[in-house]
Chain A
């Protein structure tokens, strides 16, 4: 009945949305960043534990649509062990892909399953939410909080305007 949506909801996306990886909170002193997509109420709390410049461990909790859950799940797999600079580059490539459909950038790997998102502009926010949270976690600042304080932390509004 919904075959024409298979390009958006790729099998891999559906599988990650129902069985998300790294779907867990990390203990202190991991950084926690809250991302919120007011359009459809997606909420993600991303936990990142750094080892120097590299991501030692990452997890997420929260509720969201299939695209936002799958994107968060696959993002956590993609950034584990990566440096800040590598993650920034991955963010840019991913962002370009979900807004334009261009998926030939190096290092996207499995993430190319999200290339169909560009045909559904309202879903771009869903796909980008976890990535915005990841960048906020890398850059620290106001979002750089311990899990104990995350409750009071200001929530960066994830996604595109």
Chain B
């Protein structure tokens, strides 16, 4: 697996006089040459607008764009390519559901269920929808520092819930939620489900039919693909019963001055010229990841997460958040009295890229009684040696502030 580092040109550099140790992968991963090259190749050879073009280049662009959709359906084991809608990323995918599904299906007094560990992108779209529709938000509680969902009252919470949206892997805690079980329980209660797969796509095999979700959202840039690109998976019957998301070109069947009819799914949801190069890049990323094997990436990710948790736990006075066992490849922590902003700045001085703050999970941080945490997050190219280096540097940082 470590030989794969060579596929990522951005990793091959020094930062502040030290070899770059890139541990900010939950924010965005680096991109392999296969992805960068495919985007370049698209612009150098196939660049043209998609759909309805008759000339050769438009034909190639359309075939590549729709081919990426088919590839994404296969990547997620969706029933058909029509169940894949290309978006700008997880955030837009969730907003699409909140807007297009919510407008049609949510009524005053209805309930939406979320969890306390959601990223703001899986919270604020529902707050906006709830305010518009007069609906109510409920939250599955998080147990505390160990960061697990407290499922003790889940059936009670699901009773009467119209939609249950939850993250697969917590970007702040590293918790891996039992998505299949949550979907089964939600389905039994008659609730529609949405899985935020931003942190799991590209880190683990994902099979939407096995999970049993109605919607699933992901971002290309967190799985070795380009920024500004992502997708929404939606079960076909649900997509067909939804209103369009945005109006414009590409999404119509017939337009008159008085009114219009919509294209069939998925194009009904893709107004305007899409991110064509992004779709080419996403396909290259999926091919790259499957070339390695997502089961192998999962194994590597979990091994690094467990190792980092164990190594960091040895540091006196550190407070680790999230589960001790079965965590994903990221660790969030509070380094004694040293503030996250200072930890990140000092680590950067020796070439280690970390992230500090509330990681877009401010309510969760408030609940845990911390304003900010430092996060190290891993991907397929990270190594145990890099985690050893992190542990050494964190001890030095602590020493620096205790003098």
Interface residues of A (CB under 8 A from B): 1-2, 4-5, 9, 11, 14, 17-18, 40-43, 63-67, 69, 126
CB neighbours (8 Å) of B401 from chain A are 9, 14, 17-18, 66
Residues on the A chain within 8 Å of B393, using CB: 1
Q: Kindly state the separation between the CA atoms of A44 and B396 in the bound complex, as whole angstroms.
A: 27
Question: What residues on A are CB-neighbors of B358 within 8 Å?
Answer: 41
State the Cβ distance, A123 to closest chain B Cβ, in Å. Answer: 8
Chain A proximity of B397: nearest CB distance (Å): 8
Interface hits, B365-403 → A, CB 8 Å? 371-372, 393, 396-397, 400-403
B372, A41: Cβ atoms closer than 8 Å? yes
**Closest residue of chain B to A64, judged by CB?**
B339
Residue interface mask B347-370, A partner, CB < 8 A = 1: 001100000111000000000000
Could you list 29 examples of A-B contacts with CB < 8 Å? A1-B349, A1-B396, A2-B346, A2-B396, A2-B397, A2-B400, A5-B345, A9-B342, A9-B400, A14-B401, A14-B403, A18-B337, A18-B401, A18-B402, A40-B341, A40-B357, A42-B341, A43-B371, A63-B339, A63-B372, A64-B339, A65-B339, A65-B340, A65-B341, A65-B342, A66-B338, A66-B339, A66-B401, A69-B339
* Inter-chain CB contacts under 8 Å: number: 55
Residue in B345, B350, B402 whose beta carbon sits within 8 Å of that of A1 in the complex: B350
Q: Are B339 and A11 in contact (CB under 8 A)?
A: no
Residue of chain B at shortest CB distance from A69: B339
- B400: nearest chain-A partner, CB-CB: A2
Q: A19 CB to closest chain B CB, in angstroms?
A: 10
CB of B372 within 8 A of CB of A40, answer yes
Write the chain A residue with the least CB distance to B356.
A40
How close is B95's CB to chain A, nearest CB, in angstroms? Answer: 22
Partner of A63, one of B346, B371, B400, B403: B371
In the complex, what distance in Å separates the CA atom of A126 from the CA atom of B341? 10
Chain B residues with CB under 8 A of A43: 371
Instruction: List the B residue with the shortest CB-CB distance to A62.
Output: B371
Q: Out of B342, B350, B356, B357, name the residue touching A66 (CB < 8 Å).
A: B342
Question: CA separation between A18 and B403, bound complex, in Å?
Answer: 10
* CA A18 to CA B358, docked complex, whole Å: 22
CB pair B349 A41 closer than 8 Å: no
B337 & A2 in contact (Cβ 8 Å cutoff): no
Partner of A5, one of B341, B349, B372, B402: B349
Q: Which residues of B contact A63 (CB under 8 A)?
A: 339, 371-372
Which residues of the partner chain A approach B357 to less than 8 Å between Cβ atoms? 40-41
Known: A5-B346, A5-B349, A66-B342. A41 touches B371 (CB 8 A): yes
C-alpha gap A76/B396 in the complex (Å): 30
CA distance A9 to B343 in the complex (A): 12
Contacts of B342 in A (CB 8 A): 9, 65-67
